[in-house]
Amino acid sequence: MQIDWINFTPWPSLTGGALIGIAAALLINFNGRIMGASNIVGGLFHSLSDAPWRLSFLAGLIAPAIVAAAINMPKPVFFGSTATLIVAGLLVGCGTRMGGGCTSGHGVCGMSRLSPRSIAATLIFMLAGFVTVFVVRHALAGAAS
Amino acid sequence: MKYTTAFAIGLIFGIGLLVSGMYHPAKVLGFLDLAGKWDPSLAFVMGGALPFSAIGFIIAHRRGKALFGEPLHLPPTKKIDPRLLIGATIFGVGWGLSGVCPGPAIFNLGFASGSALVFIAALGAGMAGYEMFDRATAKR
């Protein structure tokens, strides 16, 4: 295994991670809610009865990106064709609802409260992610060349 | 009050994504690419988040309710069932194809790029589609 030392950012990652963990700790204690992005959004498709807190949270989540864009911080660069993005978006939307969570809900909140479901889900989506990237970047790329 | 706290906490989550750089699909894909040049950053994000989140959940579980008297909305099921395993696999494949999971997908709307909009539209369609499937199967 080769480490990508140029792009590896241990301190910003730890700091940003700590902020995400603090946010999760605050949301369960202030609002009694699990900070899972997919469930906060997905709940809107289930029932609109508690839409206001969900939309408040999502507005807060987007706000730093609006500021970052305004002060010309580096834009996120998406990979793949539009078709790939559509397929990936469909899979992420459907999979997170079916599996009941995503990186924040299962990966951060569920793992931190030692939920067996979340630990299983996190191991599986990580494994599926590793395999998918291997297939796309190495197996298919190797076969094409 | 609970809307103010929800907004403020969403803001902290968003700043966390910004600081960690995890809104860049390249950072996520760099972590998932074990066979290439591996960027361990995402593991450090998880490592930074888990202790704080764990303390928060220990406190919440002890108190048994939220600060404003709201009950704790915890997942109703503890079962590891096929739905969980299949769903997590489907999500992982989509995550590996794009390097985007739901938190950063929403965050990136703030950059108002075309790709972010395409992705979030597909994500919403996937969620709505699953919701319809879930309702159809629950009726039986």
Q: Which among A3, A16, A68 has CB closest to B48?
A: A16
pLDDT in tens, A43-73: 999 888 899 999 999 999 999 999 999 999 9
The whole-number pLDDT of residue B140 equals 57
CA dist B21 and A13 (Å) reads 7
Range of the domain at B29: 1-74
Specify if A72 maps to a domain: yes
Residues B84 and B66 placed together within one structural domain of the fold? no
Q: Which chain A residues touch B116 with a CB distance below 8 Å?
A: 76, 78
b/e code B9-42 from CB counts within 10 Å (16+ = b): bbbbbbbbbbbbbbbbbebbbbbbbeebebbbbb
Q: Are residues B89 and B134 in the same domain?
A: yes
Q: What is the mean pLDDT of residues B111-139?
A: 92
Distance from the Cα of B81 to chain A's closest Cα (Å) equals 9
Asked whether A93 and B130 are in contact (CB, 8 A), the reply is yes
* Interface touch A76/B111, C-beta < 8 Å: yes
Q: Which of B30, B54, B74 represents a domain boundary (last residue)?
A: B74
In tens, the pLDDT along B39-77 reads: 999 999 999 999 999 999 999 999 999 998 889 999 988
Closest CA of chain A from B114, distance in Å: 10
| Distance in Å, alpha carbon of B138 to nearest chain A alpha carbon | 13
Whether the predicted pLDDT of A126 surpasses 60:
yes
Q: Report the half-sphere exposure of A21 (CA within 13 A, side-chain side).
A: 24
Check: complex ipTM more than 0.85: yes
* Statement to judge: residues B87 and B120 lie in one domain: yes
* Claim to verify: residue B70 and residue B82 sit in the same structural domain: no
A108 vs B: CB within 8 A: yes
Residues B96 and B61 in one domain: no
Q: Are residues B45 and B84 in the same domain?
A: no
Cβ–Cβ gap A57/B65 under 8 Å: no
Asked if A51 and A40 count as a contact pair (C-beta separation under 8 A), the reply is no
- Determine, yes or no, domain membership for A1: no
Our CA angle for B112, B117, B123, nearest 5°, is 140
What is the model's pLDDT at position B68? 85
Pairing of strands A2-3, B37-38: parallel
